[in-house]
Structure 1
Amino acid sequence: MDAYDEGANARHGPDEPVGRSAPADQVLSVAASAEPLDQGPPLDQGLPPDQGLPPDQGPPLDQGPPVDPRSGIAALSLPGQIVVVLALAVVAVGVCVHLGMTFLHVAPTNTVTREHGKAVDDWIYPEFEQNWKLFAPNPLQQNISIQARAEVRDGEGGTVTTGWYDLSAEDGRAIDGNLLPSHTQQNELRRAWDFFLATHDTENRPVGLRGSLSETYLRRIVELRLDRDDAVRAATGGGGAVERVQVRSRTSNVPPPEWSREKVSTTPSYRELPWWPVPAAGAGGGAR
């Protein structure tokens, strides 16, 4: 081979020492004349979002027939919609009628059931028979007021019998317009009268051990009410003492509405109790 081959692997002649390199100017000229290596195509550096590939210009994909957005009753034809609406209306009316008939059947006796009771029973029996009632016991359809009067000993030793005082009406006047009426005004007198009726027969005789207790409770309430009554004090000159009290109830039916043909007697009935003596502790200077 030629002794002047360049490169680190060039073979040397016998007269040249091993490891001898070519002159520096020769190396520089060779490097300058060398052609650059082929670097190949540049690596894909990515494209900005707004410089992507052009959109596909091919034919659009087949999307199929358009979907009808209607569903349910709206998807039916007009005759079908009319049939469905009529069926729903019939069902709704039937449910309302059934609920109304059931309510009248379990409700207390009233104007409607008195006039149309047979129609209600024909609807209920035998398929829809009910064994319960809406109210137990039936709500009162009467106005009951408790009245009382007293025998008062005046300052000269005589006795004066007062007129009847409507204690229930006094409670009613105290409750009207009062946003926070007391429990005493609302329930004391009514509960005392209910207690008395539950422990006495129609002849006002006590039944059981609680009969005397209910008498004492009702009498004590009446004593305190009459002792505070201005009319009682005025009738006795303000210095009398209550010796006996008497209680009665006045009961009248609630009148029917104007549109009703029901005839109800509004004449009041009275239940008058015997005179009750006031104990000496309460008679000395008035009931306390």
Structure 2
Amino acid sequence: MRTWSTPALAVLCLSGAGMLGATGLFLGALFLHVAPANALSERYQQQVDDIVYPEFEQNWKLFAPNPLQLNVTVDARVQTVSDTGRVHTRDWVGLTAQDTAAVRHNPAPSHVDQNMLRRAWDFYDSSHPDQDGAVAATERGRLAEEYLKRIALQRFGRTAGGERILQIQFRSSATPIAPPAWSRDQPAAPDAPSRELPWWPVNDEDYRGLR
């Protein structure tokens, strides 16, 4: 039977306590994020946002969640440059269509396919309410831009058609989801039926950490 030395036991106990503490802190931050506004969530709002955004944002509330009433699709296209310096604008690629194809007929669809792009666009849309596509002035807005861009670039890679990617552009459209036949509700009208963003430059830093 293997026995542990006192220093080894101390390290194991401290590591376990640290992991439990970090897990508790993370779960507590998520709870405050989805819970109704209260004294704790208001006092530690900045700390909670630092932990939750952007990877762990939750699209639900602790009480009475509202189901989605719009189908939002996101497309992207890129501009590339050839070895001779000629710039090409590529065709639009349906990012949401890729996720839908991966989910459809899949008995155990990936959480990433279902939610990552959708939540990234919601994050961007909520942090850029002016609808003009201007670069955000806030740290949260800049984080939303970087998050959306990196998700798309992970799919495109560094090249398209054998040429280096220079810029990327996004567009979105929203289609109301019809209510069931027995409901008297009217379909939700999108505030912005379509949205096309300006071109964003792409550099090596945008690929940092991407596979």
Q: Tell me which interval the TM-score lies in, with the shorter structure as reference length.
A: 0.5 to 0.7
**Post-superposition shift, 1:256?**
4.6
Structure 1 residue corresponding to 2:77, chosen from 130, 133, 149: 149
Residue aligning to 1:165: 93
Alpha carbons of 1:198 and 1:262: their partners in 2 closer, same or farther (altered >3 Å)?
Answer: closer
Q: Does the C-alpha gap of structure 1 residues 264 and 186 become closer, same or farther in structure 2, counting only changes over 3 Å? A: closer
Does structure 1 conserve the Cα–Cα contact (< 8 Å) formed by 2:103 and 2:109?
Answer: yes
Q: Does 1:252 align with 2:175?
A: yes
- Determine the structure 2 residue equivalent to 1:275: 199
Between 167-176 and 183-192, report the one with greater CA deviation: 183-192
Q: 2:109 — aligned with what? A: 181
CA contact (8 A) 2:70 2:188 kept: no
Cα offset, 1:207, TM superposition = 5.5
Classify 1:209/1:281 alpha carbon distance in 2 versus 1 (closer, same or farther; 3 Å): closer
Return the alpha-carbon distance in structure 2 between the equivalents of residues 141 and 265 of structure 1. 6
Query: Over aligned residues, Cα RMSD in angstroms?
Result: 3.1
Which of the residues 216, 219, 225 maps onto 2:149? 219
Alpha-carbon shift at residue 140 of structure 1 (Å): 2.1
In proportion to residue count, which structure has more strand? 2
Structure 2: 5+ residue stretches without partners: 1-62
Higher gyration radius (CA):
1
Aligned residue-pair number:
144
Q: Equivalent pairs: percent with the same residue?
A: 39
Partner Cα separation in structure 1 for residue 68 and residue 146 of structure 2 = 26
Contact 2:78–2:90 under 8 Å retained in 1: yes
Indicate conservation of the 8 Å contact 2:75/2:93, yes or no.
Answer: yes
For residue 169 of structure 2, give the secondary structure of its aligned residue in structure 1. strand
Structure 1: which 5+ residue stretches go unaligned? Answer: 1-133
CA 1:193/1:265 → structure 2, altered by over 3 Å: closer, same or farther?
Answer: closer
Quick one: which amino acid aligns to residue 99 of structure 2?
D
Other-structure match for 2:133: 204
**How far did residue 186 of structure 1 move?**
1.6
CA distance, structure 1, for counterparts of residue 174 and residue 149 of structure 2: 20
When normalised by structure 2's length, the TM-score is 0.57
* Counterpart-to-counterpart distance in 1, 2:137 and 2:127: 5
Give the equivalent residue in structure 2 for 1:21: none
Instruction: Please state how far the C-alpha of 1:200 moved relative to its aligned partner.
Output: 1.8
RCO (CA 8 Å, sep 6+): is it higher in 1 or 2? Answer: 2
